[in-house]
Amino acid sequence: MARISGIIARLRTDEFAQAPLITRIETFLATLDLVLDEARSAEDWETVYDQIFSGTLGGVRRAIYQETGLRLEYCDPDTTYKADAMALIEAMRPQLEEYLAGYKRANEALGES
């Protein structure tokens, strides 16, 4: 749990809060990957569940969805911490990746970086 808390700490900084939306989405997804790697090695799915639904990850997730206007729909298996967390993550990741890809395509079309 302490390692996951350390990984997530960067999402609680002023620098993260003030970063552009796209940077926050990229950082959120990268942080999520690190958290999942740690959960797989330590089998600490309860911490991931707590974080993604109500902890720092959950707060960032809700803020991103509110700011983008995206709507997250997924089927909650309501079985284990791992299954519940992964169902949410597996629904969320493609949406956010597509949002990032669309943003980058729009910037390229407009000649921006």
* CA separation for the pair 58, 61 (Å, rounded): 5
Average pLDDT, the chain: 92
Record the tokens describing residue 90, joined without a space: 């597996």
What one-letter code names the amino acid at 56? Answer: T
pLDDT score recorded for residue 1: 66
Record the tokens describing residue 87, joined without a space: 């169902």
What mean pLDDT do residues 22-50 have?
A: 92
* CA separation for the pair 99, 74 (Å, rounded): 17
Question: 């700011």: which residue's tokens?
Answer: 67
pLDDT score recorded for residue 113: 60
The model carries a pTM of 0.89
Rg (CA), the chain: 15
Question: 């509110």: which residue's tokens?
Answer: 66
